[in-house]
């Protein structure tokens, strides 16, 4: 009944068979970040890493600052002065250590995309990295972030002085001033990517993507990565996630289907506008409502749309995981009728696909455009289904494929996610309207199971 997909032969975008497909079998891409301090390089690398993990591509960040901090945990700005030979020597040692770990990581076959997160501010440095990679059959993709908006830079400086380990425990004002001086030291030697480097594959993000320059993109993964990066923005916003209200099928412990809301589900739909307001929406903020095309999510968002006048969109891609031949059955019935496959799904829930239906991996594939659009968007509330919500949630919290399909998402609860530079803040708001629990732990086929958080 369930068709297993071997894990190490699969990307989100497609199922690899003989080879990595559009990519050659031994695709290795080194993403080389380029930019002055406080230009969002680590933020971009961090988000891109999370995206790659989510689509199933093994990736890792090699941050030169981390290597440098092993020897010099709290350097003053003068350490970064290009005329300081001792600083220069130690910084070179750090980048060399990062480089050799990165090459080792590729050599051991541990992944497909490595990020070299550092300023890489000169043409000479970039040529050296390009040569090191090229000699080992590794493609390079340079990602430069430049910025002439004082406001954006100041916000980044404020962020850094409060979060960087370099300034831990220091007076914030002193830290900010020192950091400005550090930037000035880098500016002395900084060379932006230009014509002379047009043989490289690169993308330049100018003022957080308001202008984007893309040069010589050749392979599939780079193309997807660049499209992802060009959709990023840093305007403050939140994303709200909710399952539909309790449905008739939930009451009967049946999975799938396209049933109406139960009486209690309808009560949740009526409570949702208040719950959203209670969660806090910035004054004057615009919000868009996304639902699936199934009745239970449309009914759940009905009052929200009517009362608020917010725009509303139905996405087929937000429909529940298709359980194929098991659609309309209870877990008990599935366990009875297909005991072997029920056990096999428990074994690897992420990859197992219902006959005529989908796996979690399949759902991630069809959610990829949703994630792209979410990155482009500002405030969005998504009313969808348990499995789909798990996948979206896994993206924001960088959850593993082993963990996310088992995550508990109670009914009648609104989740508010607010992305920040270094992580996603989460708040949960319960409507206090009773509902059945639809959560099933590994190995269980219980009709209802007590929610762990109720």
Compute the distance between CA of residue 62 and CA of residue 64 in angstroms, rounded to an integer. 6
Compute the distance between CA of residue 216 and CA of residue 223 in angstroms, rounded to an integer. 10
DSSP H or E segment with residue 128? helix 123-135
- When asked if residue 256 is in the footprint of its own copies (CB under 8 A), the reply is yes
Q: Are 99 and 200 in contact (CB under 8 A)?
A: no
Q: Which is nearer to its own copies, 23 or 156 (CB)?
A: 23
Residues β-bridged to residue 415: 241, 428
Span near its own copies by CB under 8 A; candidates 70-78, 334-342, 360-368, 386-394: 360-368
Catalytic residue among 53, 139, 144, 244: 244
Site string for its own copies, 67-96 (x = CB under 8 A): ------------------------------
388 CB neighbour count, 10 Å cutoff: 27
Find the shortest distance in angstroms from Cβ 370 to its own copies: 9
Find the shortest distance in angstroms from Cβ 420 to its own copies: 24
Active site residue 244: yes
Q: Are 61 and 91 in contact (CB under 8 A)?
A: no
15 annotated as belonging to a binding site for a ligand: no
Please identify which residue in 365, 392, 411, 414 interacts with its own copies, judged by CB under 8 A.
365
Q: Which is nearer to its own copies, 378 or 408 (CB)?
A: 378
Compute the distance between CA of residue 96 and CA of residue 158 in angstroms, rounded to an integer. 29
Compute the distance between CA of residue 134 and CA of residue 399 in angstroms, rounded to an integer. 33
Count of residues touching its own copies (by CB under 8 A): 49
Active site residue 320: yes
Q: Which is nearer to its own copies, 17 or 432 (CB)?
A: 17
Tokens of 311: 């725009």
Residues 6 or more apart whose CB falls under 8 angstroms from that of 102 comprise 30, 62, 114, 116
Cα 224–Cα 203–Cα 226 angle in degrees, nearest 5: 10
Compute the distance between CA of residue 213 and CA of residue 142 in angstroms, rounded to an integer. 11
Instruction: Compute CA distances 361 → 7, 302, 421, 428, whole Å.
Output: 10, 30, 27, 26
Q: Which of residues 330-359 bind its own copies (CB under 8 A)?
A: 355-356, 358
- Give 398-403 contacts, CB < 8 A, sequence gap 24+: 398/50, 398/53, 398/54, 401/56, 401/350, 401/351, 401/360, 401/361, 402/350
Catalytic residue among 139, 144, 266, 320: 320
Find the shortest distance in angstroms from Cβ 223 to its own copies: 6
Compute the distance between CA of residue 247 and CA of residue 269 in angstroms, rounded to an integer. 11
Site string for its own copies, 276-315 (x = CB under 8 A): ------------x----x-----------x-----xxxxx
- When asked if residue 362 is in the footprint of its own copies (CB under 8 A), the reply is yes
Q: Which of residues 196-255 bind its own copies (CB under 8 A)?
A: 198, 210-216, 220, 223, 227, 230-231
- When asked if residue 419 is in the footprint of its own copies (CB under 8 A), the reply is no
Please identify which residue in 4, 6, 7, 19 interacts with its own copies, judged by CB under 8 A.
19
454 annotated as belonging to a binding site for a ligand: no
- When asked if residue 139 is in the footprint of its own copies (CB under 8 A), the reply is no
Q: Which is nearer to its own copies, 149 or 210 (CB)?
A: 210
243 annotated as belonging to a binding site for a ligand: yes
Q: Which segments are annotated as binding site for substrate?
A: 243-250, 296
Task: Supply the residues annotated as catalytic.
Answer: 244, 320
Q: Which stretches of the chain bind its own copies, using CB under 8 A?
A: 3, 13-19, 21-22, 198, 210-216, 220, 223, 227, 230-231, 256-258, 288, 293, 305, 311-317, 322, 327, 355-356, 358, 362, 365-366, 368-369, 373, 376-377
Q: Which segments are annotated as binding site?
A: 243-250, 296
């Amino acid at each position: 009944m369930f068709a297993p997909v071997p894990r190490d032969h699969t990307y989100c975008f497609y199922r690899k068979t003989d080879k990595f497909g559009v990519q050659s079998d031994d695709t290795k891409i080194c993403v080389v970040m380029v930019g002055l301090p406080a230009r969002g390089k680590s933020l971009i690398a961090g988000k891109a890493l999370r995206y790659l993990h989510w689509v199933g591509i093994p990736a890792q960040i090699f941050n030169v600052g981390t290597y440098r901090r092993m020897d010099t945990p709290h350097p003053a700005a003068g350490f970064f002065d290009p005329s300081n030979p001792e600083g220069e020597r130690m910084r070179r040692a750090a980048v060399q250590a990062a480089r050799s770990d990165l090459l080792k990581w590729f050599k051991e076959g541990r992944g497909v995309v490595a990020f070299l997160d550092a300023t890489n501010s000169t043409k000479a440095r970039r040529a050296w990295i390009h040569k090191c990679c090229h000699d080992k059959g590794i493609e390079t993709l340079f990602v430069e972030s430049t910025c002439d908006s004082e406001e954006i830079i100041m916000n980044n400086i404020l962020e850094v002085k409060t979060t960087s380990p370099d300034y831990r425990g220091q007076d914030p004002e002193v830290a900010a001033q020192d950091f400005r001086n550090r930037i000035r030291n880098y500016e002395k030697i900084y060379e932006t990517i230009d014509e002379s480097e047009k043989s490289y594959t690169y993308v330049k993000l100018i003022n957080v993507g308001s202008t984007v320059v893309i040069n010589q993109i050749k392979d599939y993964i780079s193309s997807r990565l660049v499209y992802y990066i060009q959709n990023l923005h840093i305007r403050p916003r939140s994303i709200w996630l909710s399952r539909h209200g309790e449905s008739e099928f939930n009451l009967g412990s049946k999975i799938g289907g396209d049933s109406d809301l139960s009486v209690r589900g309808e009560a949740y739909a009526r409570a949702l506008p208040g719950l959203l307001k209670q969660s806090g929406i910035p004054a004057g903020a615009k919000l868009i409502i996304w639902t699936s095309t199934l009745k239970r999510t449309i009914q759940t968002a009905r009052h929200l749309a009517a009362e608020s006048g917010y725009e509303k969109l139905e996405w087929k891609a937000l429909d529940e995981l298709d359980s194929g031949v098991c659609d309309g059955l209870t877990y008990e019935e599935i366990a009875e009728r297909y005991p072997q496959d029920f056990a096999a799904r428990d074994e690897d829930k992420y990859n197992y696909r219902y006959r005529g239906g989908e796996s979690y991996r399949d759902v991630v594939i069809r959610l990829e455009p949703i994630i792209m659009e979410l990155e482009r968007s500002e405030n969005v509330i998504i009313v969808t289904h348990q499995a789909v919500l798990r996948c979206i949630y896994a993206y924001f919290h960088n959850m593993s494929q082993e963990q996310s399909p088992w995550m508990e998402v109670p009914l009648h609860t609104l989740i508010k996610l607010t992305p920040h530079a270094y992580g996603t803040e989460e708040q949960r708001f319960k409507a206090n309207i009773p509902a059945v629990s639809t959560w099933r732990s590994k190995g269980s086929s219980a009709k209802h199971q007590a929610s762990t958080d109720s």
